[in-house]
Amino acid sequence: MSVMTGPDALPGLAPSAGRPGRRRTARPGTLALMLAVVVLGLGLSGCGSDTPAGPPSAAATATPKIENGVQVFDVVGTASLEFSPSALTARPGKIRVNLTVPAGSAPHNFVIPEIPEARTSVTSAGTSQSVTFTIDKPGSYSFLCTIHPNMHGTLTVG
């Protein structure tokens, strides 16, 4: 009795075991592809999050060009009442700011209240003015346009 049931059961199991086996070999391949896509996607998004973080901070803080030992910043006082750039970074020493006001803009000036000599007169549209001053003490110096007090920026010396 036990001998008869054994051979009867094996042929029945063999065909059914073979068919799912073929399907299973295909699935690991697609799973591997999907995992690869996910891993690549995570890797790319990881790099992507680093890349956008760099340019904004680099663009937000301007470093000067050096002319005859003077640190020079070209700053625009825009028609939308902003300084561009509004964040400047310098080393202690002589600093020059060239303020340009484009045609069609309201007039602006560039004033660092803490540094008496860091002050242009009012600069009208289509003209520019330069001011040169020295800051030896590291720190964060606010600057503004006295005509538009909401128009301001920061010069970091360090």
Q: Would you tell me which residues interact with Cu ion (CB under 5 A)?
A: 108, 145, 147-148, 151
> Which of 124, 72, 129 shows the shortest CA–CA distance to 99?
129
Shortest distance, position 100 Cβ to Cu ion, whole Å: 13
How many residues in total does the chain contain? 158
The residue sitting closest to Cu ion, measured at its beta carbon, is 145
Minimum CB distance to Cu ion, residue 144 (Å):
8
Structure tokens at 28: 């690991």
Both tokens of 78, joined, read: 């825009």
**Residue with smaller CB distance to Cu ion, 91 or 148:** 148
Nearer to Cu ion, 134 or 146 (CB): 146
Tally Cβ neighbours within 10 Å of residue 88: 22
Closer residue to Cu ion (CB): 90 or 145: 145
Residue 134 Cβ, how far from Cu ion at the closest point, in Å? 24
Minimal distance, residue 106 CB to Cu ion, in Å: 6
Two structure tokens written together for 44: 């790319």
Question: Is residue 108 within 8 Å of 122, Cβ to Cβ?
Answer: yes
